[in-house]
Amino acid sequence: MDQTLEGFPVVIEFPVKWGEMDLFNHVNNVAYFRYMESARIAYFEKSGIWTAGEEMIIGPILASTGCRFRAPINYPDTLRVGARAYDIEVDRFKTEYRIVSTAQDKTVAYGDGLIVSYDYKNNVKVDLPETWVKAISELQDGDVNDARNRR
């Protein structure tokens, strides 16, 4: 695994598609959010928080997301995108993403997200299920800041 992705328990790989390029001859910023979305879903699936195709009553919902662009991405390239969780609170946790270009051999973007535990039946946020906290901790070998007792 790339040294720059050390500590990320989920890493997925994407070939850059020609159609992701924009007028300025680099990957459009919208594609970065798609890469992070795919890494987030892979994280949910690998941790067991969410499984595609299953009915979801209590599930994760993205409350906010951001990206810090460090270098443009060009076609052709292959990207490696890492995802991990941190700062677990009563009803939420944060996610971190790192996008690495194999052609440039460096990090080209950093991203973050705020994930809230949501009751889709009653349309309200709820406390994180303890099973999620345990799954995140196990996936990350205990490397997660559990801040639930700070309140």
Q: Three-state SS string across the chain, please?
A: CCHHHCCCCEEEEEECCHHHECCCCCECHHHHHHHHHHHHHHHHHHHCCCCCCCCCCEEEEEEEEEEEECCCCCCCCEEEEEEEEECECCCEEEEEEEEEECCCCEEEEEEEEEEEEEECCCCEECCCCHHHHHHHHHHCCCCCCECHHHC
Q: How many domains does the chain have?
A: 1
Q: Note the pTM of the prediction, 2 decimals.
A: 0.92
The answer to whether position 17 is within a domain reads yes
The answer to whether position 143 is within a domain reads no
> What is the domain-level CATH number for residue 62?
3.10.129.10
Average pLDDT score over residue span 131-139: 95
Interval 70-85: pLDDT, tens? 999 999 999 999 999 9
- Residue 144 pLDDT class (50, 70, 90 cuts): confident
Question: Is the pLDDT at 66 greater than 80, yes or no?
Answer: yes
Question: Is the pLDDT at 19 greater than 50, yes or no?
Answer: yes
Domain that holds residue 50: 8-138
Please give the pLDDT value at position 147.
62
